[in-house]
Amino acid sequence: MLHRVAHRGYSAVAPENTLPALAAAARAGATFVEFDVRCTADGVPVVIHDRTVDRTTSGSGRVWDLRADEIATLDAGSWFGPGHAGLRVPTLAEALALLQPTSAEILLEIKPPATLDEVKAVIAALAEYDLLDRTVVQSFEADVVRKARQLAPEVRRGLLLFRFDAETVELCRELGVTYCNPSVADVLTGPDTMAALTEVGVGVMPWTANDLTRWRPLVDAGVAGLITDYVGELAGWAFDLAM
């Protein structure tokens, strides 16, 4: 089965990393709902991609310099369109409560910098909602992946990459990851690395596969799934693919 991974939720139809985007992804047939987590100044995990709140909210400043109650007052929807005015940056707990009753799995990216205590807070939330077995914890930082393994060896892990390199396969083996998630371009130009990852049992789910003309070549290259802003469209395309 080709995994249909909703990038920051169904971010083509609702503001990225908001509860409506996550809910829309689950309804649209995502097999994985992907979102990003950072911790606030007072250690609360919240769902936001950037280091600062400037791009996707009405506020400004770095996430880790703001308290959770300060972030909770920000408008996280107006930038996307007036119909989404008043949406808030979700806490991780709110995101997990929303997704827990659905059938979707979770691809949770912990954004660096992340201390051991911050990774512990993320793992604790997953455990509280009984979602450890439905989650893949991933990061671009190998050290964050190591922290997740230290705290919850049983949780599936993923390594995000900007590019394949000579150390990719060995690093994936060392970290014991289930998935290695590079760019679309690397998948299409790295058949040897793709074959080596497949050989050691590591699935590949490239980001961000928004060009529909590349979906077929990516499938032919052996991907386990596609990370895309257009998860509803991908669900329909994958259905046709299976027929």
Contacts of 22 (CB under 8 A, 6+ apart): 6, 9, 10, 33, 35, 90, 95, 98, 99
Look up 49 and say whether it is catalytic. yes
Go through the chain and tell me how many residues it has.
Answer: 243
Q: Are 76 and 101 in contact (CB under 8 A)?
A: no
Q: Which helix (H) or strand (E) holds 172?
A: helix 168-175
Q: Of residues 8, 38, 49, 157, which has the active-site annotation?
A: 49
CA pair distance 13, 9, nearest whole angstrom: 9
Q: Are 38 and 11 in contact (CB under 8 A)?
A: no
Burial readout 24-50 (b: 16 or more C-beta within 10 A, e: otherwise): bbbebbbbbbbbbbbbbeeebbbbbbb
Q: Of residues 3, 4, 7, 147, which has the active-site annotation?
A: 7
CA pair distance 96, 219, nearest whole angstrom: 30
Look up 7 and say whether it is catalytic. yes
Quote helix, strand, coil % in the chain, to nearest 5: 40, 20, 40
Catalytic residues: 7, 49
